[in-house]
Structure 1
Amino acid sequence: MAQGQVSGLISFPLTPFTADDTVDTGVLADHVAAHVAAKPTAMFVACGTGEFTALSVVEYRQVLTTALRVVAGRMPVFAGVGGGPRVAREFLSAAAESGVDGVLLLPPYLVAAPPAGIVDHVRYVSTVADLPVVVYQRANAILDPAAARALLDVPTVIGIKDGEGDLERLRSLISAVRGSGHPRAEEFVFLNGLPTAEVAVPAYRELGVDGYSSAVLCFLPEIATAFYAAVQREDEETVRTLLTEFYHPFAALRDTTPGYAVSLVKAGARLTGTPVGPVRPPLREVTPEHLAQLKEIIERGRAALAAIRAVA
């Protein structure tokens, strides 16, 4: 699989749960189909937005199998992998057996480690399957330039997804990789993986990072795709309007409560007609007050998009 396929607008579907706390594969299939219709460049299932840490291996296989069946080869499908080193290996083996195109390696569970230790973890986990790996930099998995260069020597690692948001650090990682002289340096991928990544798209693009994950695709695909199209054609007015009217208010509400990067997205999906069910603990459901605010933000975003289209 070419690394260039992991770029552009990337989808991160939710994992729906039933009232009796099982994975709702029927709703998941419909949810994935809606993502496919939005035509992202790739799909990452059972990752952070998909509540990877809440899934058993059996449920994980259900999610991957369902997504792959619906996508039917129309785009690359990556799966989340994480936990401690042995657990991550177990999930990576399950991902490989399912037939996904690659994995997103989430930070290791709990343990803090120096950047070189993160590289060791990546190397240890990735050896169990010949699948492309994107390393997720965030929380307790922070890299430095030497670590970024070292990842080039791990054959299956194709890139870094940044969820930290330190642009100067990211600039140093990009420079270290691109200037390394390594045969894979130019094809190595960097992705914007911040929560509500659209807010940071202009800043990341200045670093040459064009690909980003969009949780908004889960509940307002019309806004997510319109924003991406505006970015691509350098329509600064549309970008600014959607940031002001929708993305900034949504991100501000998200920041009020830990875990809302997932809970708020699930609530948005329910509000817009997809019965994805509840989040699993330790995530908490959105409060009634915040749910009312979310509804207003969704309506405000839709109104802004309608106004943009009316004058187009």
Structure 2
Amino acid sequence: MTMRKRKAPKGILGFPVAPMDVEGKLDLDALGKNIEFLIEGGLSSIFVACGAGELHAISNEEYRSMVEVAVKKTQGKVPIYTGVGGNISNALEQAKISEELGAEGYLILPPYLIDPSQDGIYDYLKTIIQSTDLNAIVYQRDNCILDSKTLIKLCEFPQLVGFKDGVGNMENNTEFTHLIGDRLEWVNGMPLAEVTMAAYVNLGYTSYSSAISNYIPHISAMYYEALLNGNKEVAHELHEDVILPIHRIRKQKKGYAVSLIKAGMQIVGLPVTTNVRAPIAPVEKEHYDQLKKIIDHALEKYPVPSRVI
């Protein structure tokens, strides 16, 4: 038996959506195009059926079909991770499906409804982490908030390779990275992570999930390169022209962390409708039009390199 590579993906991580047709059914062809676009855009990895992929709203049969498409499209190109979480029984089934289909690992999303104690969170994460030999990344957000003792204890499991933060408590993040160091890969999972990445980089966070990469991946790449190279002028311009204006729209309505991505994808010509599943609401026309103006301006000022087309 070959030893599994215990290392999380680095850089800008790709999170495809769950495209729906006009009847609200999963559109697997569109998912394939979404994944191809991310790979061609230079994303370091694919994380399918996670938050942007509406894990909360798909059946495990649909989940299997999404993972099958992702495995086929990523074969030998970039690592593929899946989302698992919510109901513990469903999460364990999703973990088994991911292992069976050949994923490298999974991102563990929070449990539903329950606001657990630290030992409850530990048991939830431990059960999923230990259920397979796949790599695991813990996603801190909503009702899965860890303290340093819990995270250190979870580091005893070799399957755990990363920690993704979607809360933004920089005091806790400083403590985590100080105590744990390079034992884990640190991932910025804040909504529109380009907004906060400059702060996270200083703590040792070298990776982030990018919502806008689903439609303007070259902008994410330009921003991150400028950030890492200390090119404050370019980073500032991209914040001013693209990142902060999109972020302002995203904050207008709950659920836009998902539905605004689909709107952006449709605007750039990808074969994706703006349909989402309840309880997420689709983007309102006013906000769609605002987003289109921002994207049109961005593509005019910052053209897509020919190698990414």
Same fold by TM-score, threshold 0.5 exceeded? Answer: yes
Long gaps (5+) in structure 1: 179-185, 307-312
Which residue number corresponds to residue 306 of structure 2? none
Which residue number corresponds to residue 94 of structure 1? 97
1:191 aligns with one of 183, 187, 191: 187
What is the CA–CA distance in structure 1 between the aligned matches of 2:272 and 2:6, rounded to whole Å?
Answer: 31
Tell me whether 196-205 or 232-241 shows the greater mean CA deviation.
232-241
Aligned residues of 2:45 and 2:80 also touching (Cα < 8 A):
yes
**Offset at residue 176 of structure 1 (A):** 2.4
1:298 aligns with one of 277, 295, 299: 295
Which residue number corresponds to residue 268 of structure 2? 272
Percentage of identical aligned residues = 34
What is the CA–CA distance in structure 2 between the aligned matches of 1:295 and 1:261, rounded to whole Å?
Answer: 16
Which residue number corresponds to residue 125 of structure 2? 122
2:43 aligns with one of 40, 53, 58: 40
Which residue number corresponds to residue 229 of structure 1? 225
Aligned residues of 2:245 and 2:294 also touching (Cα < 8 A):
yes
Q: Which amino acid aligns with 2:146?
A: L
Which residue number corresponds to residue 63 of structure 1? 66
Which residue number corresponds to residue 150 of structure 1? 153
Tell me whether 53-62 or 231-240 shows the greater mean CA deviation.
231-240
Aligned residues of 1:199 and 1:248 also touching (Cα < 8 A):
yes
**Offset at residue 5 of structure 1 (A):** 4.7
2:244 partner SS: helix
What is the CA–CA distance in structure 2 between the aligned matches of 1:187 and 1:144, rounded to whole Å?
Answer: 16
Aligned residues of 2:92 and 2:131 also touching (Cα < 8 A):
yes
TM-score (norm 2): 0.93
1:5–1:89 CA distance, 2 compared to 1 (3 A): closer
Tell me whether 224-233 or 151-160 shows the greater mean CA deviation.
224-233
What is the CA–CA distance in structure 2 between the aligned matches of 1:232 and 1:72, rounded to whole Å?
Answer: 29
Long gaps (5+) in structure 2: 304-309
What is the CA–CA distance in structure 1 between the aligned matches of 2:257 and 2:141, rounded to whole Å?
Answer: 14
What is the CA–CA distance in structure 1 between the aligned matches of 2:292 and 2:243, rounded to whole Å?
Answer: 13
What is the CA–CA distance in structure 2 between the aligned matches of 1:205 and 1:116, rounded to whole Å?
Answer: 30
Ranges of 4+ aligned residues in structure 1 off by more than 3 Å: 1-5
User: Alignment RMSD, CA only?
Assistant: 1.6
**Offset at residue 2 of structure 1 (A):** 4.1
Which residue number corresponds to residue 169 of structure 1? 172
What is the CA–CA distance in structure 1 between the aligned matches of 2:98 and 2:33, rounded to whole Å?
Answer: 21
TM-score (norm 1): 0.92
**Offset at residue 146 of structure 1 (A):** 0.6
Q: Which residues of 2 match residues 241-280 of structure 1 at below 5 A?
A: 241-277=237-273, 278-280=275-277
**Offset at residue 48 of structure 1 (A):** 0.5
Which residue number corresponds to residue 109 of structure 1? 112
1:127 partner SS: helix
**Offset at residue 3 of structure 1 (A):** 4.8
2:302 partner SS: helix
Aligned residues of 2:148 and 2:175 also touching (Cα < 8 A):
yes
What is the CA–CA distance in structure 2 between the aligned matches of 1:269 and 1:52, rounded to whole Å?
Answer: 19
Q: Which amino acid aligns with 2:254?
A: P
